[in-house]
Amino acid sequence: MSDDVRSEIRAALNERRLVPVVGVGVSRAAAGLPTWWEAVDAARRHLERTKAVDAGELAEAARLLDAGDLVTAAALLTGRLKDLREWGAWLRGAFRMERGGVRDWRLPSAVFELMCPLLATTNYDPILSFDSLMPREAVSWDRPASMQAALRDSGGVLHLHGVWDKPDTVVFGTGDYDRLAAEESYESVMRALWLDRTLLFIGCSFDGMQDPDIGRLLAWAGKTFGQNQFRHYALLPTAECPPDRVAHLLRQRIQVIDYGPDPGTLPEFLRSLNPSLRTAQIAAVTRAREIVERHDPGDTALLAQLFDQVVPREHRTITVADAAAQVLADRSASAERRRQELFHLQRVAGSMVDRAAMHWVTLERDTYRPVDEESRPRFRATAVRMWSAWQLFPKPLLDALHQRGVQIHRGFLESNLGYFVREVVITADEGGERLGNPDHVDPLDKPYTVQNVQRLASSLESVLAADPFTAFPVPAAGLGSVPAGPSLIVARGDRAEIRAADNLAVPSAALRAGTGALRRIEAIAWRGKTYLTGYSPSAAYLWEPQASLEPAQIHESADGGRVKSVAHIVQGDALHTFVLTEQTIEYLMDFGPRNALALGYNNLAELAALPGPTFVLHDMNDGDRLRGERGTLLTTDQVLTFLAAYETRPDLTSVHISDIHPASMAGRAVLCVTILINRRAGDGYDYRSGVLLAELLGSRLNPFAFLPLPVENAYSVRLQDVTGGFRLVCGAEPGPGDARKPMVFWSAPFPAQGQGLLAVEGSALPEEAMWAVAAPAGEDSIIAALRGNENTLWRVNLKNGRAELIARFADPPIRWLEFAAL
């Protein structure tokens, strides 16, 4: 093929006026569908099986087939099939095709990658409507207005000879061709194609191009435009390119292009003509990533097709259909889904890159030296493949890997460094040769660009090397047996230890989370049972301890963000859960995802669940405040106003919200708000903490009580019902001057409907520690934990303030505890 011909085809593609005319060779290569001769013979054999046709007619059809008179044979058989009402059944058996039935996507993908706005075909099957890059509507000749609209708007697949599932449109025998010739609107469409577009015949044999319909078009064109300078093109194998055939088609203004002796080379030959190949491959990778993110098992066949399209044949080490099925398999546990997703995407992406070249880019290049001219093609080609492989991984998966310690450069998670890599990718072809204006600056002349390609290489190497079982470990089975009755549940490392109330020194059982350190643990009464819930930075967990020592449910953030806070509330028969991450608030019903609210910023520290169900957020943006779905519920100015009504000291200057915890008391929905108080003290400030109680009334929070604490920071707050009222139990986090002060406080009982200040009734645990957390264990005692040089558990008698040491142990450290009846 001359360079002039190649340039003409590439120009037609760039100008979006080239229309591929796809013949049966494409469908045969892709799915083994019959050639025209095989289709006619299949119709004969179908009638033979019915036993309803005279043997003489069948013998005549066979004779016509042997003589090469396919049109007459097809006309004879079509008439009998229609007479017996078997026409539709035969078409369905011969040409019906689903996306998953295509066994080789190489040739269809090469056609799709041309990214032509309009396709045309003489085939009856729907394979061209399976375009992986753009949706295409099949339009048949019986809808002339739609065909004209497709020509004008440049969209769809023109089925010139009909579609199998519309039997009346299928052009098969002499009568059908005569009927087609009488359609003036169809004739006008065909002539418009010839005059206004550049046609490229793909998978059409020389004989196929002489059929009564196409042949008539060619005869008209040769007679009318015999001396025209413009040409159309046909890709034919060497065996079909003798000089007489080439000359015959050239007289009809079709230039034959010999693509070689082996039909299997046609896909790569087609790609060699394609100026949009890089754009098409980037589009394919982007579409694949969108499908992975959507995670709909119904997309398996399309994902397999895209994987087939983006994985180079020379690197093919996987079965793409299996990989796609595994990525989109329906799994109830999100950790299992992420594990499987990572494993199979690693296999696909790993097959797309040259690992040795990627390693060369990562480690064997000096970051601060320009890439020498000899090495630039290899460097560009490696960047192209690495970027395509990187684009396969959905961002939630990359975020989840990053938070689990996989070394991914944050600039690629935030997309601000991708610009520099894309600059290299869009100026290079698959072989690494530079594209575009040679007078423009080569991106590889910029050290920062080279550095970011290297960052991409090292990030991709880390992702490909990540162990799915380490990144998303399988929760280990629990240990021991769960005691019946009152128990202490301690969040310690990645486990929830359960200790019987009558033997707190020894764990009875341990429930494993499997990922990260549990931040909190709490008991929930739901559907007549007691469940335990907890969360780590990567997931939220639900256990039914009396039924199993493994989590009943695991929920990982859908967007891959770090879990910052989880809150639950039971209303009626339903468990409502809100999960706050850096990017979303996810709402779960009965621990199953329902919807998510995207956040425009990540300055939210914590959330609590209240009746409604609704949630309250601690928003540190524009000053501390608590807000809900309908607006601000509580500001620090409101807190100051409330405190001023009960405080007599004038030096109260400001407060800061630090923690929120929901509670209920005598039917009231209460929020415990831990605050830090600033007071003027001499030349500086005196910082103290306290707990404000606010009741949810309609859509606002109404402060009604306050407990001041003689420490700088309160760490945990629990509201405990007592006879006729309530008390608060608090664990403290000492400030700079508080190291020797008691670590646990409890208030005097306070009337259920009381308003005003609460008094500290007692304190305990004077040991130095980082913080303390406490939980009520009946009206007269509390259980407390200290975390310092070692971990300690204590029981505190609220009547006399005496603390009894229960246990002392080393890491993993305690994060939270809960006292509940299991």
Q: What is the mean pLDDT of residues 676-681?
A: 77
Q: What is the pLDDT of residues 699-736, one digit of tens each?
A: 788 999 999 988 888 889 999 888 888 999 999 888 77
Q: Is pLDDT above 80 for 370?
A: no
DSSP state of 306: H
Is residue 776 predicted with pLDDT exceeding 80? Answer: yes
- The secondary structure of 498-540 as a DSSP string is EEETT-TTS-SEEEE--SS---EEEEEEETTEEEEEEE-SSEE
Whether 651 is in a domain gets the answer: no
- What pLDDT sits at residue 698? 79
CB 177 within 8 A of CB 213: yes
Residue 795 within any structural domain of the chain? no
- Domain stop point among 248, 272, 296: 272
pLDDT in tens, 642-665: 888 876 555 677 888 888 998 887
Same-domain status, 85 and 108: no
| Percent of the chain clearing pLDDT 70 (strictly above) | 93
Boundaries of domain holding 452: 278-471
Where does the pLDDT of residue 760 fall: very low under 50, low under 70, confident under 90, or very high at 90 and above? very high
Is residue 757 assigned to a domain? no
Q: Are residues 144 and 68 in the same domain?
A: no
pLDDT of res. 734: 81
225: pLDDT strictly greater than 60: no
Q: What is the spatial distance between Cα 92 and Cα 165, in angstroms, rounded to a whole number?
A: 7
Could you tell me which of 558, 108, 150 has the C-alpha nearest to residue 302?
108
Q: What is the pLDDT of residues 87-96, one digit of tens each?
A: 999 999 999 9
3-state helix, strand, coil in the chain (%, to 5): 35, 30, 35
771 within domain boundaries: no
Q: In a 3-state reduction of DSSP, which class is residue 445?
A: helix
**Distance from C-alpha of 453 to C-alpha of 385, rounded to nearest angstrom:** 11
Q: Are 353 and 335 in contact (CB under 8 A)?
A: no
Instruction: Give the residue-averaged pLDDT of 14-31.
Output: 92
Structure confidence at residue 532 (pLDDT): 94
Residues 293 and 233 in one domain: no
- Same structural domain, 212 and 260: yes
* Residue 716 in domain: no
Q: Which of 760, 786, 754, 782 is nearest to 772 (CA)?
A: 786
Q: What is the pLDDT of residue 666?
A: 73
- Residue 667 Cα distances to 103, 664, 694, 705, 814, angstroms: 65, 6, 14, 17, 32
**327 and 466 share one domain:** yes
Looking at the structure, do residues 61 and 181 belong to the same domain, yes or no? no
pLDDT (mean) for 401-411: 85
- 138 CB neighbour count, 10 Å cutoff: 19
At 32 the pLDDT is: 92
Of the three residues 272, 302, 321, the one that is the final residue of a domain is 272
pLDDT greater than 90 at residue 22: yes
Question: Which among 413, 448, 471 is the end of a domain?
Answer: 471
Q: Burial-class residue 648 by CB neighbours within 10 Å (0-12, 13-18, 19+).
A: exposed
Distance between CA atoms of 214 and 797, rounded to whole angstroms? 98
Q: Tell me what pLDDT residue 23 has.
A: 92
Identify whether 461 is part of a domain.
yes
Residue 300 three-state SS: helix
Q: Are 19 and 47 within one domain?
A: no
Residues 118 and 223 in one domain: yes
CATH number of the CATH domain containing 27: 3.40.50
Q: Rounded CA gap, 555 and 338, in Å? A: 11
- pLDDT at residue 812, as a whole number: 83
pTM for the full predicted model: 0.68
Query: What is the DSSP secondary-structure string of 96-115?
Result: ---GGG----HHHHHHHTT-
Question: Which pLDDT band, with edges at 50, 70 and 90, does 484 fall under?
Answer: confident
Q: Are residue 241 and residue 175 in the same domain, yes or no?
A: yes
Residue 739 has pLDDT above 70, yes or no: no
Average pLDDT over residues 303-323: 84
Q: pLDDT of 157-208, one tens digit each?
A: 999 889 999 999 988 877 877 888 788 888 888 888 888 889 999 998 888 7
* Confidence at residue 365, expressed as pLDDT on a 0 to 100 scale: 60
The mean pLDDT value for 210-215 works out to 72
Helix 418-425 × helix 447-465 angle, to 10°: 100
When pLDDT is cut at 50, 70 and 90, the band that residue 368 belongs to is low
Cα–Cα distances in angstroms (integers) from residue 529 to residues 340, 524, 543, 589, 820, in the given order: 33, 8, 11, 17, 12
- State whether 371 and 332 are in the same domain: yes
Residue the block writes with tokens 């550049």: 198
The structural domain count of the chain equals 3
Q: What is the average pLDDT value for the chain, to the nearest integer?
A: 86
pLDDT at residue 487, as a whole number: 93
Which of 17-21, 71-75, 312-316 ranks highest by mean pLDDT?
17-21
Q: Is residue 241 a part of any domain in this protein?
A: yes
Residues 375, 283 share a domain: yes
Whether residues 376 and 462 share a domain: the answer is: yes
Q: Within a domain: residue 300?
A: yes
According to DSSP, residue 58 is labeled H
pLDDT given at position 429 = 79
The C-alpha atoms of residue 380 and residue 453 are separated, in whole angstroms, by 9
For 532-581, the pLDDT digits (tens) are 999 988 889 999 998 888 888 888 876 666 888 999 999 989 999 999 98
